Amino acid sequence: MDAIEVIRAKRDGRELTPAQIDWVIDAYTRGEVADEQMSALAMAILLNGMDRREIAAWTQAMIRSGERMDWSMLDRPTADKHSTGGVGDKITLPLAPLVAACGAYVPQLSGRGLGHTGGTLDKLESIPGWRASLSNDEMLHVLRSAGAVVCAAGSGLAPADKKLYALRDVTGTVESIPLIASSIMSKKIAEGTGSLVLDVKVGSGAFMKTPETARELAETMVALGTDAGVRTVALLTAMDRPLGRAVGNALEVEEAVEVLAGGGPADVVELTVRLAEEMLAAAGISAAKEPAKALRDGSAMDAWRRMITAQGGDPDALLPRAAETMTVEAPSAGVLARLDAYAVGLAAWRLGAGRARKEDPVSFGAGVTLHAKPGDLVRAGQPLLTLHADETSRFERALEALEGGYAVGPATEDGLPLIMDRITAP
Ligand code: URA
C-alpha cells in the first residue's frame, strides 16, 4: 500500500477500507508516512468526512498504536467523564472524588489546556506538590487508596493520536467531527474505563458552537464507545456563558473545594451532581450513596483530600495568587443580560491562565472572578469582574477581549439551558 493511493481515495470522496486505515495509522506512527502526507489526508477527511465504519476503524487503529489499560483487577466498576472543554469548566475536580465516594473507581487520564479553554492538569498543578505524571503502578495505588486518580496520559497511550493531534493543530484540521471523535474516544477507550459520560459543550466558549454540531459529535462518540464495549452516554450542556464564578487555574481549584465543602455556585453543583448520577448509572451502581448527600456529609471532600495527598499535593496549602488585580464595574444599573463564555475565556487566557503553545508555562494565579451571573440585578458601579494577573501590562488586552462580551440591560438575553439534552446509543 502507499500513502498517495489512500490520500487520493479520500480526496475523491471514496470510503477508506479497514486495511487502508490500519496501514496508514501504523505507518504514520512509525514515521513511514510523512507529516505532509498525513496533513493532506487529514484535510481530505475534514472536507469529505468519514462514515461510521471508517471512524470506528480509525479509532481502533489509533488504540492499537499503543497500550490499552486494564482495571479488571479492581473490585468495583470504573467510570470516567470527558468534557469537550469550556470556560470555567472545573467539574472534574469535584466530580472524580464525588463518584469515588459513591462507590465507583474513577481512572481519569486528562490533558492540559490550549487556547481559551483550561486544562484539568494545569488546574491541579496549582496545588503545591501535586504531580500529574504517574506510572501505571502509581495510578493503581492512587485508585486503590483514594478511589479516583486524575493524571497525564503517558506516551504509550494512543501515540498515533498524539502525533496526529499536534499535526492537526498546525494544519487547520482540528474542526472535523470524525477526527475529534476518534481522537477523544481512542484515548478514553485505551484508558480502560468500563463506562464513560461525555459532557459535550455547546456555545461560544466551546468547540461546537451549535446544538446541531454538538449533537452530531455526541452521537458519533457514543456510538464509538458503545461499539468498543464501553457503556457510554453524553449530555449536551451550555457553554454560552462561563461555568461557575471562577475562571483560571488556582481560582477554579478554590471553587471546586467550595463545592466539595457543600457550597459553591448553583450551576457547578447542578452539573457535578447530574454527571455523578450519570456515571454511577452507567457503571451499574444503584448509588449506595446519593451524590448530593456525599457533597453534604463530607465524604466527597475526604476522597478529594486522599486523592490530592496520594499524588504528592498538600490539600491544606495556600494556593498561588496573582500579584495584581483590576475590577471591571457595571456601566449602569439593570440586569446582567449577557456574559459571553468566549470573551471571558480569552480574557483569562490573555491574563496568563492559558498558553499559546503547548510548551508555554501557565500562571496559576491568573484568571477572572465573576461577581454577577446573567440574570443577576446589578447597580451602576458595582464590581462585575475581577481580573487577576502577575503583571499589570496584561490588563489592557484582557479588557479588549471583554469588549462587547457583557451587557447590562432591562432583561436577560436568551441563554441555553444548562443541561440541554441526553444522548444514548440507539
Ligand atoms: N480533544 C482531543 O483530545 N482531540 C480533539 O481532536 C479535540 C479535542
Q: Is 177 in the pocket of ligand 1 (CB under 6 A)?
A: no
The CA 182 to ligand 1 mean position distance, Å, reads 8
Q: Which three cell numbers mark 369?
A: 472572578
Q: Could you give the domains of the chain?
A: 3-49 (1.20.970.10), 79-316 (3.40.1030.10), 324-409 (3.90.1170.30)
* pLDDT beneath 50, residues of the chain: none
* Selection from 218, 217, 226, 223 nearest residue 282 by Cα: 226
CA distances to 76, 78, 258, 297, 362 from 104, in Å: 6, 6, 22, 18, 32
Ligand 1, atom 6: nearest CA belongs to which residue?
180
With b for 16 or more beta-carbon neighbours within 10 A and e for fewer, the 210-248 pattern comes to: ebebbbebbbbbbbbbbbbebbbbbbbbbbbbbbbbbbb
Write down the pLDDT at residue 87: 96
Q: Which residues are part of the catalytic machinery?
A: 82, 161, 168, 183, 187
Q: Which three cell numbers mark 158?
A: 494512543
Write down the pLDDT at residue 154: 85
The CA 49 to ligand 1 mean position distance, Å, reads 16
In sequence order, what are the residues at sequence separation of 6 or more whose Cβ sits closer than 8 angstroms to the Cβ of residue 396? none
Residue pLDDT, tens place only, 237-291: 999 999 999 999 999 999 999 999 999 999 999 999 999 999 999 999 976 779 9
* Selection from 412, 403, 404 nearest residue 335 by Cα: 412
In sequence order, what are the residues at sequence separation of 6 or more whose Cβ sits closer than 8 angstroms to the Cβ of residue 104? 76, 77, 78, 79, 147, 279, 280, 283, 285
**How long is the chain?**
426
Q: Which of 167, 177, 184, 208 to mutate to test the pocket of ligand 1 (most atoms within 8 A of CB)?
A: 184
Write down the pLDDT at residue 426: 82
pTM of the model: 0.96
Q: Please give the backbone phi and psi of residue 323, each rounded to the nearest 5 degrees, phi first.
A: -70, -30
Write down the pLDDT at residue 113: 75
Chain-centroid distance, C-alpha 419: 16
Q: Is 184 in the pocket of ligand 1 (CB under 6 A)?
A: yes
Q: Which atom of ligand 1 is closest in space to residue 180's alpha carbon?
A: 6
Q: Which three cell numbers mark 212?
A: 446541531
